[in-house]
Amino acid sequence: MVTLIGVAVGVGYLLTGSDELLYTKSVDVNKRHYFIIYIRDSDYRIDQPLTSSHGNSVRPNWSPDGQQIAYIGSNADGFHVYIADAVGRNIRQAAYVFISPDSSPIWSPDGKWILLSVSQMAAGETILLHIETGEVYALPQYVGAGNWSLDSQVVFYQAASENGAAHLYGMNINCLAHVDSCQFDELDFLSGQTVYSVPEWSPDKQRVAFYAISESTNKIVVMQLRCTELTASCIQHSTTIADRAPNYSNPIWSPDGKQLAFVEGHYALTIYEVATGAIRSFDIPSIYPFLNNWSSDGKFIAYHSEAGGMGNMYLLNLITGESRPLHRFLTSEFPEWRPVPH
């Protein structure tokens, strides 16, 4: 059992009614180096700190309803999960301690759980933290990059099988009532295809998109579903929307579900119109082959580029095509836009 301890912290105010994102910035205070979480109003470019400089704060993530923030913070005894409200106040600290985070806190769609992978002294560990009770459960398998089913009942992750091909595995969290019975089983909905990204659900929950390899062909695939379980019987039909580049990134959906974005190789960010098949590409040299999320108003996508030999996070304005650094100081974490509940 883990106890959540309430700590009241005031960190300024927050503009509302515009598109907001969380990001981590490095600062120097009294000759000491810290990481602090900020919130930015994208329209007005106004930044406010959400955490203090008394310790490092990283990996922020919004709850599905946009009313809470989970992040990783450090103190004298190590790293903890912290939960705060949308303006960084009413902070609760989980007593679970770890050496360093291996993933960001991943909220379940119902907002009741957090999935987190960490490093401990002996080995990596993946846990589920129950938000209301504070209970922590160690999963039977380390999950480097995991996600949730739409009903918040299944944790799944992508890993290599015995023959070296990457497949998806899932665990129903109802097994936590009898922890010894928990195990991950391979999901069959891909029908033998090798998947190199966790499937991303469209906002209307009718489709999934992922990056896959089949018969030595790299491709982005969209599957129309007749149900929300990740089983072969739920697939109505599938469409390959890209198979040109030597490799792709994970695809991400626009907030309205009408477009998909993905990285082609290390040189282009591509936008695919689902209804028409139209494609727009933005030339971005040395772009990192991973995307996180789309801004809630549909205007921006964040990407990481090492152009010029120095890595930084940029915001691409999809209307004007202009890119600008998220901050003039180097940042290594993808920003998190505040979600708009559907």
CB atoms within 10 A of CB 176: 16
Q: What are the helix and strand counts (H, E) for the chain?
A: 0, 30
Domain for residue 35, yes or no? yes
Q: Could you tell me which residues are beta bridge partners of residue 259? A: 273
The mean per-residue pLDDT over the stretch 61-68 comes to 94
Whether 240 maps to a domain, the answer reads no
Q: How many domains does the chain have?
A: 1
Q: Is the dihedral of CA 44, 48, 50, 53 positive or negative?
A: positive
Quick check: 2 pLDDT over 50?
A: no
How far is 321 from 69, CA to CA, in rounded Å?
30
The pLDDT of residue 187: 80
56, containing H or E segment: none
Residue 13 resides in a domain: yes
With respect to residue 227, please indicate whether it lies within any of the assigned structural domains.
no
Res 246: pLDDT: 81
Query: Is the residue at 46 inside a domain?
Result: yes
Strands 252-253 and 259-264, by their bridges, are antiparallel
* Confidence label for 1 from pLDDT (cuts 50, 70 and 90): very low
Q: Which two structure tokens, joined as six digits, stand for 37?
A: 């979480």
Q: Whole-angstrom Cα distance, residue 255 to residue 183?
A: 33
Residue with structure tokens 């789309």? 294
The confidence score (pLDDT) of residue 107 equals 97
pLDDT tens track for 136-178: 999 998 987 788 999 999 998 887 666 656 678 899 999 998 8
Q: Is residue 306 part of a domain?
A: no
pLDDT at 309 over 80: no
Print the domain residue range for 30.
1-138
Residue 62 placed within a domain: yes
**Residues 21-58: tens digit of each pLDDT:** 999 988 877 777 888 899 987 665 678 888 876 778 99
What is the amino acid identity at position 84?
A: A
Does the pLDDT of residue 190 top 60, yes or no? yes
From the centroid of its chain, how far is CA 65?
15
- Residue 60, pLDDT > 90, answer yes
User: Does residue 198 sit within a domain?
Assistant: no
The average pLDDT across 318-323 equals 94
| Domain of residue 109, CATH code | 2.120.10.30
Both tokens of 72, joined, read 């990783």
pLDDT band at 11 (very low <50, low <70, confident <90, very high): very low
pTM: 0.86
Percent pLDDT > 70 in the chain is: 87
Q: How confident is the model at residue 4 (pLDDT cuts 50, 70, 90)?
A: very low
Say if residue 316's pLDDT is above 90: yes
Could you give the CA distance from residue 92 to residue 8 in angstroms, rounded to a whole number?
Answer: 8
